[in-house]
């Protein structure tokens, strides 16, 4: 009896404590010290408290409003802001009091997309750098530019909060600010004197459909099959996540540089020469292991092992092990001994070559074990097959002296990375192979996942507009993107309850994306979207592509070209916003006359003459063409095409030189005059 009485009292105390705790006013993380509010607006402010609780919200600039929580404990209010200024405080009072300090009123912009928007001023070393960023960071000291980076999180259902915090621009904080967003904000602040706040919701590798509410995707017939699959997988996905989270967490290192290198990943067993891998499954390398043909979406640690025959005359010699590029990190072992590792972020596209010391080289079999860790997006040993080889030192250019090691490798995943945590699987029982199977797994490419995980928690925060740099992950689906992107824009305008919300975006920079993917078609879909939406603007990046990487180094030009649209549309600065944009054509016998808008200062041939034009006949055959400027028109012709029907400009994945500009110094985007973005028949003569 006494035991039951104690249990009852304990339960009552816990219930009373929970009720008291539940009474405290709470707010989303987007409302924090150093935040920015949109000027001259009725800004939504919201949070949680006990049902029926009255909440008072006061801004030190003289604004005040009240709210009352609903039956679920949610409260919403609107706080009127004045013309830009500050700093101010916001005081929220209910059962408790919250004070938000150092609040500025200015212009708030949402920056979103994939890696080219995410990449910070400090770059992703060593290859993905930002031109001029070192000097920019050293001199960055502007309290009137503030930013909040949203934690990357995906969701199958709308989340109500997201980890973030606001900070002003200082040399030690600017490192982490999106480079494009920083240069965008800097340009607007310098031209107008208005404080600018940036909310950065971007995620490398994300596709456009991951940023759209599933209810809006249902409006597009192209997504019907994927939506059906998505809906049927929801309960299975919940089961999978519960299974993953039931495992032991692997503890990270003390800071981001050593976060992964300090972790333990079963090296003592999985790298050991005598360890039994006979029941491990096999995978053909090189490849991305997280595609549907292999493991499916998966982030975390995967061990690869292979035994290689070593020639007798190599015994005791120093050898080189070449693996090609590895995404993201790796440690490599030979006969159980570690010979090298790359465990820092940013080396995902760098080729790996490690030295095998003579003492480990014995005639016969050699065991190579590779511990690969992917902490987001694609993962794998993914280069050319001929890069995977072993050869004596100094013989890298002699294919006859190499042993090639591409082909089937034993593999075993041992740790899975989910929501920023690594969960360890039992490598001895090969536990991963019993992992619950789901047709649709949650990632930054899942339908609606980033919308629910990252955007929904901050809506309907008041913003002036959006800057967007995305499209690489939708290459190969240009016609679909042409319908999808306007749907995304409308979805966001509805979510933020702002039908006039500006949306400025980038046309992809040229890059040879590989796999035969026609990135020029996505660029054309982006260009044509300009004509089917209001309140949008596109920045052409046709002249800043790099052959080495899909991440252009000239992010300052990207941000400032986007800023031209805002300066002209919203901030009273009359300026040209775009390079010449194709509008119409007239066929005159054997020539085609092209007409453009955005011809401020006249058309200009950079370098003295136009290049990059192709002219096509009625069968879709295209040949290089001569082009010349005539007033505000371009005349295109080719003697081998006497009856021309269409023209293309810079219609390649990688464009070395763009030549068509306007007098404002802005480049024309690539374009095609064909009716379809993806013609049914194409003959290229590059």
User: What was the pLDDT predicted at 421?
Assistant: 85
pLDDT of residue 682: 42
pLDDT tens digits for range 174-231? 999 999 999 999 999 999 999 999 999 999 999 999 999 999 999 999 999 999 999 9
Of 434, 469, 485, the domain-final residue? 434
Phi, psi of 250 (to 5 degrees): -90, 125
Sole residue written with tokens 């800057």: 467
pLDDT value at 255 more than 70:
no
Instruction: State pTM to two decimals.
Output: 0.80
Structural domain count of the chain: 2
With cut-offs at 50, 70 and 90, classify the pLDDT of residue 233: confident
Beta bridge partners of 202: 113
Question: How confident is the model over 11-26, as a mean pLDDT?
Answer: 52
Structure-block tokens of residue 472: 């690489």
Q: What is the pLDDT of residue 19?
A: 40
Distance of CA 647 to the CA centre of its chain: 33
Q: Cβ contacts of residue 282 below 8 Å, gap of 6+?
A: 408, 409, 410, 411
How does residue 253 score in pLDDT terms, banded at 50, 70 and 90?
low
8 pLDDT exceeds 50?
A: no
SS3 554: coil
Please, are residues 131 and 425 in contact by the beta-carbon 8 Å criterion?
Answer: no
Cβ proximity of 334 and 366 under 8 Å: yes
CA atoms within 13 A on the CB side of 567: 22
Kindly state the tokens that stand for 476: 């190969």
Taking only the tens place, the pLDDT of each residue in 510-569 is: 998 765 678 999 999 999 999 999 999 999 999 999 888 899 999 999 999 999 999 999
**pLDDT given at position 513:** 79
pLDDT exceeds cutoff 70 at 685 = no
- pLDDT at 161 > cutoff 90: yes
Q: CA–CA separation, 82 vs 529, rounded Å? A: 35
Strand partners, 16: none
Nearest CA-CA partner of 651 in 630, 607, 620, 628: 620
Query: pLDDT value at position 11?
Result: 42
Has residue 607 been placed in a domain?
yes
Is 542 part of a structural domain of the chain?
no
Residue 191: CB atoms within 10 Å: 17
The residues, ordered by sequence, that sit 6+ positions from 571 with a Cβ below 8 Å of its Cβ are 188, 191, 192, 194
What's the domain range around 624? Answer: 581-672
* pLDDT at residue 257, rounded to an integer: 53
- Mean pLDDT, the chain, as a whole number? 91
In a domain, 42, yes or no: no
R_g of the chain computed on alpha carbons: 28
Is residue 410 within 8 Å of 277, Cβ to Cβ?
yes
CA dihedral 203, 204, 208, 213 (to 10 degrees): -30
Give the pLDDT confidence score for residue 375 in this predicted structure. 81
Is 1's pLDDT higher than 60? no
- Stretch (H or E) spanning 424: strand 421-424
Q: Of 415, 434, 453, which marks where a domain is finished?
A: 434
* 487-499 pLDDT, tens digit each: 999 999 999 999 9
Backbone angles phi, psi at 155, to 5 degrees: -150, 145
The total of other beta-carbon atoms located within 10 Å of residue 546's CB is: 16
Residue 376's pLDDT is what? 75
Q: Assess if residue 180 is contained within a domain.
A: no
Assigned domain for 535 exists: no
601 dihedral zone (left: phi>0; alpha: psi -120 to 50; beta): left
Percent of the chain's residues with pLDDT above 70: 94
Inter-residue long-range contacts of 495-500, CB under 8 Å, 24+ positions, other chains counted: 495/213, 495/455, 495/456, 495/459, 495/460, 496/459, 496/460, 496/461, 496/462, 496/463, 497/44, 497/460, 498/460, 498/462, 498/463, 500/535
Question: Coil, strand, or helix at residue 451?
Answer: helix
Cα distance between residue 578 and residue 574, in whole Å = 13
Which pLDDT value is given to residue 25? 95
Q: Please report whether residue 354 resides in a domain.
A: yes
Instruction: List pLDDT tens digits, range 446-482.
Output: 999 999 999 999 999 999 999 999 999 999 999 999 9
Strand 646-649 to 613-616 pairing = antiparallel
Residue 424 has pLDDT above 90, yes or no: yes
Residue 345 has pLDDT above 80, yes or no: no
Model pLDDT for residues 356-393, shown as the tens digit of each residue: 999 999 988 999 999 999 987 778 999 999 999 999 99
- The 3-state secondary structure of 145-179 reads EEEEECCCCCCCCCCCCCCCCEEEECHHHHCCCEH
136 located within any domain: no
CB atoms within 10 A of CB 547: 9
pLDDT, tens digit, for every residue of 69-85?
999 999 999 999 999 99
Q: Are 305 and 311 in contact (CB under 8 A)?
A: no
The model's pLDDT over 611-669, given as tens digits with 9 standing for 90+, comes to: 999 999 999 999 999 999 999 999 999 999 999 999 999 999 999 999 999 999 999 99
Residue 508 lies in a domain: no
- What percentage of the chain carries pLDDT values higher than 90? 80
| Mean pLDDT, rounded, for 13-27 | 56
> pLDDT for 426-454, tens place per residue?
999 999 999 998 877 788 899 999 999 99
Q: What is the DSSP letter of 515?
A: T
Bridge partner list, 605? 660
DSSP reduced 3-state for 408: strand
- The answer, yes or no, to whether residue 9 has pLDDT greater than 60, is no
Buried b or exposed e, range 385-412, using 16+ CB within 10 angstroms: eebbbbbbeeeeeeeeebeebbeebbbb
Torsion of CA 539, 543, 544, 550, to 10 degrees: 90
What distance in Å separates the CA atoms of residue 481 and residue 284, rounded to the nearest whole number?
32
Which of 400, 434, 468 finishes a domain?
434
Strands (E), 499-612: 502-506, 536-539, 581-588, 591-597, 603-605
Q: CA torsion angle for 415, 419, 421, 426 (degrees, to 10)?
A: -30
Report how far residue 284's alpha carbon sits from residue 294's, in angstroms, rounded to the nearest whole number.
9
Asked if 250 and 244 count as a contact pair (C-beta separation under 8 A), the reply is no
580 vs 569, 616, 660, 668, CA distance in Å? 18, 21, 8, 5
Asked whether residue 16 carries a pLDDT value surpassing 80, the answer given is no
- The band of 292, judged by pLDDT with boundaries at 50, 70 and 90, is low
């Amino acid at each position: 009896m006494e035991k039951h009485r104690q249990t009852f009292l304990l339960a009552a105390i816990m219930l009373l404590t929970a009720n008291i705790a539940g009474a405290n006013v709470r707010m989303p993380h987007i409302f924090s010290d150093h935040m920015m509010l949109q000027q001259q607006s009725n800004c939504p402010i919201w949070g949680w408290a006990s049902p029926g609780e009255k909440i008072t919200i006061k801004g030190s600039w003289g604004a005040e409003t009240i709210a009352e929580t609903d039956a679920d404990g949610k409260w919403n209010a609107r706080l009127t802001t004045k013309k830009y200024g500050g700093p101010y405080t916001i005081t929220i009072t209910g059962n408790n009091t919250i004070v938000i300090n150092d609040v500025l009123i200015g212009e708030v912009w949402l920056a979103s997309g994939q890696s080219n928007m995410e990449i910070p001023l400090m770059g992703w070393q060593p290859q993905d750098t930002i031109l001029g960023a070192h000097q920019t960071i050293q001199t960055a000291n502007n309290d009137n530019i503030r930013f909040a980076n949203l934690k990357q999180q995906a969701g199958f259902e709308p989340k109500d909060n997201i980890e973030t915090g606001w900070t002003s621009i200082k040399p030690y904080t600017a490192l982490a600010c999106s480079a494009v967003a920083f240069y965008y904000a800097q340009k607007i602040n310098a031209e107008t004197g208005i404080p600018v706040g940036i909310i950065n919701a971007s995620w490398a590798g994300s596709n456009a459909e991951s940023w759209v509410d599933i209810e809006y995707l249902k409006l597009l017939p192209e997504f019907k099959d994927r939506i059906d699959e998505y809906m049927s997988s929801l309960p299975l996905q919940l089961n999978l996540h519960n299974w993953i989270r039931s495992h032991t967490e692997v503890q990270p290192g003390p800071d981001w540089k050593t976060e992964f290198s300090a972790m333990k990943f079963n090296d003592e067993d999985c790298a050991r020469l005598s360890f039994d891998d006979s029941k491990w499954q096999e995978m053909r390398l090189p490849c991305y292991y997280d595609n549907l043909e292999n493991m499916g979406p998966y982030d975390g640690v995967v061990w690869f092992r292979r035994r290689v025959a070593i020639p007798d005359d190599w015994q005791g010699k120093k050898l080189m092990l070449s693996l090609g590029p590895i995404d993201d990190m790796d440690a490599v072992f030979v006969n159980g001994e570690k010979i090298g590792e790359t465990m820092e972020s940013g080396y995902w596209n760098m080729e790996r070559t490690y030295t095998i010391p003579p003492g480990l080289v014995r005639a016969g079999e050699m065991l190579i074990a590779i511990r690969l860790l992917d902490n987001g997006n694609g993962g794998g040993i993914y280069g050319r097959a001929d890069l995977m080889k072993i050869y004596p030192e100094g013989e890298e250019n002699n294919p006859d002296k190499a042993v090639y090691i591409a082909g089937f490798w034993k593999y075993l995943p041992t740790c899975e990375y989910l929501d920023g945590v690594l969960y360890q699987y039992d490598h001895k029982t090969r536990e991963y192979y019993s992992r619950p199977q789901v047709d649709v797994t949650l990632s930054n490419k899942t339908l609606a996942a980033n919308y629910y995980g990252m955007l929904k928690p901050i809506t309907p925060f008041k913003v002036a507009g959006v800057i967007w740099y995305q499209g690489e992950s939708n290459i190969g689906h240009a016609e679909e993107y042409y319908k999808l992107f306007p749907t995304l824009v409308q979805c966001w305008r509805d979510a933020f309850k702002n039908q006039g919300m500006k949306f400025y975006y980038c046309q992809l920079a040229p890059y040879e994306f590989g796999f035969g993917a026609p990135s020029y078609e996505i660029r054309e879909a982006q260009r044509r979207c300009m004509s089917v939406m209001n309140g949008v603007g596109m920045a052409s990046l046709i002249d800043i592509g790099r052959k080495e990487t899909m991440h252009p180094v000239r992010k300052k030009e990207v941000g400032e070209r986007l800023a031209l649209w805002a300066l002209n549309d919203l901030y009273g600065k009359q300026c040209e916003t775009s390079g010449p944009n194709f509008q119409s054509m007239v066929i005159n016998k054997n020539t085609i006359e092209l007409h453009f808008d955005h011809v401020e200062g006249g058309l200009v041939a950079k370098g003295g003459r136009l290049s990059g034009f192709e002219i096509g006949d009625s069968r879709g055959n295209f040949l290089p063409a001569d082009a010349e400027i005539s007033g505000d028109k371009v005349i295109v012709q080719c003697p081998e095409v006497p009856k021309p029907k269409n023209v293309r400009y810079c219609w390649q994945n990688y464009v070395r030189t763009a030549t068509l500009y306007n007098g404002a110094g802005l480049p024309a985007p690539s374009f095609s005059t064909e009716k379809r973005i993806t013609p049914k028949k194409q003959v290229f003569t590059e």
